[in-house]
Amino acid sequence: MRWALVAVPMVAAMPHADLRAWLLIGVTLALSIPLLWIHDARVRPLTTALPLAVIATTGALWVLLPSSWASVAMSSTTFFVVLRQSTVPIVLAVGLDFAAITAGAARYDVWKGALSTYAVLAVIVLMGLNRRARLARIEQTELALARAQTANEEHARAAALAERARIARELHDVLAHSLAGLALNLQGARLMLVRDGASPDAVAQIERAQTLASEGLAEARKAVAALREDAVGVERAIADLLAAYRLDSGARADLQVEGEPRELGPAVGTALVRAVQEALANTRKHAGQADVAVTLNYAAGSVELTVADRQGRRPPDAPAAGYGLRGMGERVALLDGRLESGPGEDGWRIHLTVPA
């Protein structure tokens, strides 16, 4: 739709075009094609220059062919510049519009008509600013809702953990202690029966009861450990870290899992989660609101983790590894793994491989 607002007026102007107009139409169409893919991008040199160039060429075409629809293309492009760009491009876009309207009025001596055109330009700018403010409010509302949902989930998780801890205490204080006392009493009873020369069947029954009590005690201890540790999978832990980063920075943070996921050892899982945590902390510190991509690859006999931020430029080499990267390297080395970190073409990249 946005591209059509530029292309259709250009096509409509073709029947009345001379050589200069044809040149402007061709340049405008060529410049407008990339806007199909970059109109939603934030302010960058390309996304700023192309709309301004389209405004300039359509304004010039409108001056040459005042009866054409070139003003529609100029106005619609101005609207989307006001909607998406920062203050400087907006001022430049309005200045180009003002210059085109003034040049047309001076060339054809239609200053009275120019006043209404200036008013239309002002209305377009105000509409763009109003739409921009509305989108910003919607974005803030969605962000607030996401944060509220996260807070509710954390509250529910904290309540669940508190309940699990209470159940674990009850199991430990009542059931585990009772089973431990029962096992000790049965052991004493068995020794007394052996001392008094009781029948082998009676001793065997006591031994079986002692075995059941011991097994029940072991299972109770396992249940207490499971309730208190509340183990979380590596993928879930990394996804939670990325969700927190998205809410904090507003940037994208994606996790891609490759290969067949499998259960990892506690040391390996901790190393992977801590590596993502340290990488995100460094991104917050050195790259602001850069997008982050995390890849977790379950290879044969090993697991690979790649964390890359997209800063849009090659970052400078770090003078020395910080304590976080050193600790990460030491943790990976203890697992006989490998760690690589350094600047890439458009950001910082960390890659580690650990046997698993």
pLDDT (tens digit, 9 = 90+) per residue, 77-114?
888 888 888 888 899 989 998 998 888 888 887 777 78
Mean pLDDT of the chain: 81
Closest Cα to residue 76, out of 134, 26, 5? 5
The token pair that represents 192 in the structure block: 């007394």
Long-range contacts of 214-218, Cβ-Cβ distance < 8 Å, separation of 24 or more: 214/183, 216/179, 217/176, 217/179, 217/180, 217/183
**If pLDDT is split at 50, 70 and 90, which confidence band does 26 have?**
confident
Of 60-64, 79-83, 130-134, 153-157, which range is least confident? 153-157
Higher-confidence residue: 307 or 220?
307
Q: Are 44 and 84 in contact (CB under 8 A)?
A: no
* pLDDT score recorded for residue 226: 63
pLDDT > 50? residue 41: no
pLDDT > 90? residue 238: no
pLDDT > 70? residue 322: no
- CA angle, 339 then 345 then 349, to 5°: 25
Closest Cα to residue 92, out of 45, 49, 58? 49
pLDDT (tens digit, 9 = 90+) per residue, 272-282?
988 888 888 88
Give the pairing of strands 291-299 and 253-259.
parallel
Amino acid of residue 293: A
**If pLDDT is split at 50, 70 and 90, which confidence band does 176 have?**
low
